[in-house]
Structures are given as structure tokens and as C-alpha cells.
């Protein structure tokens, strides 16, 4: 017997979306674990959204750059369900449909300073910058809260049209803002800023060494890989070589893509690379860095966790960052 099938365009799109959602990340980076199914068609159906409000939904509050998190040795996201989620959604703050979990919608909702204590008490949680504890959280929770933070931040910065200056309104469940000026009507969509981050290594000495810099905003004695934003007209490889030279005076080649990480702090996608140095004399940009140096393998292995280091001890980047992963990948190489 031939099996019946529905080959309509909408069904095929759903099947394709499911295949994308099931794609396994090649590396385990914080904020990359897909916790929800993103369904563009669901964002656009008001009827579907109204039905889901009646059938049940989930919601997470966002207070500026902070998420509601239950602290502890293993922090978790404070996620509201059922009537509490509906109350939060209808509180009047900006909301965004993040996706669906087992066919139930999950929303991010902006809350005010006045309302924040109520939701913190109800969730037995605290509003915390997720960067303080993201690496300790269940991967799906970290991804969910980072996504929520990034989307709410975008809305907070796009209340007015960049074309004509008129106010904008939220549409399509928070995935578009449209200018209210009838003579303009421009639609604005969430944007991600592409950035490169690169571990530059040298292989001309026993054990090798890697190039690390200190930004003035870093915690005391913490060094990290170099990074910068992609400019118009550049390839990623050209961006790597330009940023490395501008910040350190080092030239490099053999630029190899390693992995990427969403970094919604506030709105970047970090694309990670390894690159081999072809020059070794450092002349760093003092406007960008307060120090830049070569670290040998043994010295890198002796560096402490950024949270565990004593005052003055050299520190590695946080474990939730792709910078730390790039460093660890280099350290794990056989020499």
C-alpha cells in the first residue's frame, strides 16, 4: 500500500525547519544549544497566538541587560508557566516570541524596575547579568536567556525609525518593528553584528606560543584572544588579518575557521579562528589594549580560572566564551 503524504509547500517548510532544529552543533559552546524550535510561520499568525494563549504558554522576564535566574551552584532560568506566564505576557511590556517548546510558545517579556521585585519574589530568583553565571547553567537555559536578552535589547534601541525618525511599533510577535509614518512605513528587523575572534599562534619555538591581549575593560590580569568587527567589503579572513595587525602589529596567515557563538551582549555573532603568525615583534595599539604578549604553552597551562584567581594572578577568559574554547583547542593540540 502506498503511504499517503502531504507535500504542500507549508508542510515541506515545516519538515525542513524540523531538520534544521535537529542539527547537532559540532562543538559544545555556551549559548549555542538550541532549546526551542524557531517557526517563522507561527510568528505571523495572530489566530495561532491567541489559541496558544488559551492552551498554555511559557514566559521569561527581562530587566534591561539582566535575566531572572535562580542562583546557586547550578543556576537555572526562572521560567513562568500557565496563568503566571499569561499575566506576565499581558503586563504591557514589550514581548517577543522566542520559539516553541513541545508546541507551546515561549516568550521573552520586558519588565520595569517597579515590577521586577514582584516577579523576582514569585520566581524565587534574582535579576542577574547572565554573563556572571552562564557557564554554570544548563546549556538550554543559558541559550534561552541569552536569546531573550538580545531580542529585548534590540527593541529597546529601535523605538524610532532610522529612516525618518518617526516612532515604530512591534509586529510579528516581536520580530519586526514598523515605522508608523505612512509616507515611510519602513520595516526594521533584528540585526546581528558579525565579529571575528582569533587565537594567533607561533610554531617557530618548542611547544609554540599564542598571542594574548588585555583590554582595559577586562578583569585585573585577564588576557584573551584578539577580536574585532567585520567591515563592509571584507571577507572574514581579511578581517582576521587586519584586526590582528591593527591591534598587535603581528602579521598572520593560514587563517582557519573553528566555530561560531552567538554573543548577545548586546548583539554580536562571534566567528572564531586560529591563525599562524608570520611575524613575531609586537607593537600593540594602546587605544585598544593595555598589554599584548606571547604566552608559551606551559605559562598558559598555569593560568587560573578568571573567577578563581587571586589578585595579580594571570587569568584566562570565562568558560562561557568562545575565546576560552579557542585557547583550549590550541592547548589540546599534540606538540
Element (H, E) at 67: strand 66-70
Query: Which has more confidence, 2 or 114?
Result: 114
Task: Please state, rounded to an integer, the average pLDDT across all residues of the chain.
Answer: 88
What pTM value is reported for the model? 0.85
Whole-angstrom distance, CA of residue 236 vs CA of residue 225 = 16
**Could you give phi then psi for residue 128, rounded to 5 degrees?**
-135, 145
Instruction: Say what the pLDDT of residue 15 is.
Output: 44
Instruction: Say what the pLDDT of residue 27 is.
Output: 72
Is 1.10.1060 the CATH number for 25-156?
no
Select from 65, 68, 39 the least CA-distant residue to 52.
39
pLDDT band for 19, please (50, 70, 90 cuts).
very low
Query: Which has more confidence, 126 or 100?
Result: 126
Asked if domains 25-156 and 193-331 share a fold, the reply is: yes
Instruction: Say what the pLDDT of residue 43 is.
Output: 73
Whole-angstrom distance, CA of residue 93 vs CA of residue 312 = 44
CA 56 to chain CA centroid, Å, is: 28
Whole-angstrom distance, CA of residue 262 vs CA of residue 231 = 18
pLDDT band for 3, please (50, 70, 90 cuts).
very low
Grid coordinates belonging to 306: 578568571
What does the pLDDT look like over 311-328, one tens digit per residue?
668 889 988 999 999 999
What homologous superfamily does CATH list for 193-331?
Nucleoside Triphosphate Pyrophosphohydrolase (3.90.79.10)
Check: CB of residue 22 under 8 Å from CB of residue 34. Answer: no
Grid coordinates belonging to 272: 572564531
Instruction: Say what the pLDDT of residue 52 is.
Output: 79
Check: CB of residue 243 under 8 Å from CB of residue 198. Answer: yes
What does the pLDDT look like over 85-101, one tens digit per residue?
999 999 999 999 999 88
Whole-angstrom distance, CA of residue 254 vs CA of residue 239 = 13
pLDDT band for 308, please (50, 70, 90 cuts).
low
Q: Following DSSP, what letter does each residue of 63-98 receive, concatenated?
A: ETTEEEEE-SSS-EE--EEHHHHHHHHTTSS-EEEE
Whole-angstrom distance, CA of residue 22 vs CA of residue 34 = 9
Check: CB of residue 276 under 8 Å from CB of residue 201. Answer: yes
Please state the rounded mean pLDDT for residues 231-235. Answer: 97
Domain ranges of the chain: 25-156, 193-331
Check: CB of residue 110 under 8 Å from CB of residue 59. Answer: no
Instruction: Say what the pLDDT of residue 39 is.
Output: 72
Instruction: Say what the pLDDT of residue 38 is.
Output: 82
Amino acid at each position: 500500500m502506498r503511504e499517503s503524504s502531504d507535500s504542500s509547500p507549508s508542510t515541506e517548510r515545516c519538515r525542513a525547519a524540523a531538520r534544521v532544529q535537529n542539527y547537532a552543533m559540532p562543538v559544545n559552546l555556551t549559548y549555542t544549544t538550541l532549546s526551542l524550535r524557531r517557526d517563522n510561520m507561527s510568528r505571523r499568525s495572530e489566530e495561532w497566538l491567541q489559541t496558544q494563549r488559551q492552551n498554555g504558554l511559557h514566559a521569561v522576564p527581562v530587566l534591561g541587560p539582566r535575566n531572572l535566574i535562580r542562583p546557586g551552584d547550578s543556576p537555572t532560568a526562572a521560567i513562568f508557566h500557565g496563568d503566571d506566564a499569561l499575566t506576565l505576557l499581558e503586563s504591557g511590556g514589550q514581548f517577543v516570541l522566542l520559539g516553541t517548546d513541545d508546541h507551546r510558545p515561549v516568550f521573552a517579556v520586558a519588565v520595569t524596575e517597579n515590577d521586577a521585585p514582584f516577579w523576582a519574589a514569585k520566581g524565587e530568583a534574582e535579576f542577574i547579568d547572565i554573563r556572571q553565571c552562564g557557564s554554570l547553567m544548563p546549556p538550554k537555559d543559558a541559550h534561552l536567556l541569552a536569546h531573550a536578552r538580545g531580542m529585548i535589547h534590540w527593541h529597546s534601541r529601535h523605538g524610532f525609525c532610522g529612516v525618518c525618525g518617526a516612532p515604530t511599533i512591534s509586529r510579528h510577535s516581536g520580530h519586526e518593528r514598523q515605522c508608523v509614518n505612512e509616507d515611510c512605513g519602513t520595516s526594521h528587523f533584528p540585526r546581528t553584528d558579525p565579529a571575528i575572534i582569533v587565537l594567533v599562534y607561533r610554531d617557530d619555538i618548542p611547544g609554540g606560543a599564542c598571542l594574548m591581549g588585555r583590554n582595559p575593560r577586562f578583569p585585573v590580569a585577564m588576557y584573551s584572544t584578539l577580536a574585532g568587527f567585520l567591515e563592509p567589503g571584507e571577507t572574514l579572513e581579511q578581517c582576521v588579518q587586519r584586526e590582528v595587525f591593527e591591534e598587535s602589529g603581528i602579521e598572520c596567515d593560514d587563517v582557519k575557521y573553528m566555530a561560531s557563538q552567538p554573543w548577545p551582549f548586546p548583539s554580536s555573532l562571534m566567528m572564531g579562528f586560529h591563525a599562524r603568525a608570520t611575524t613575531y615583534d609586537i607593537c600593540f595599539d594602546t587605544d585598544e589594549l593595555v598589554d599584548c604578549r606571547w604566552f608559551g604553552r606551559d605559562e598558559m597551562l598555569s593560568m587560573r580560572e578568571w573567577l578563581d584567581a587571586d589578585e595579580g594572578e594571570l587569568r584566562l577568559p570565562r568558560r562561557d566564551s568562545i575565546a576560552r574554547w579557542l585557547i583550549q583547542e590550541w592547548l589540546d593540540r599534540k606538540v
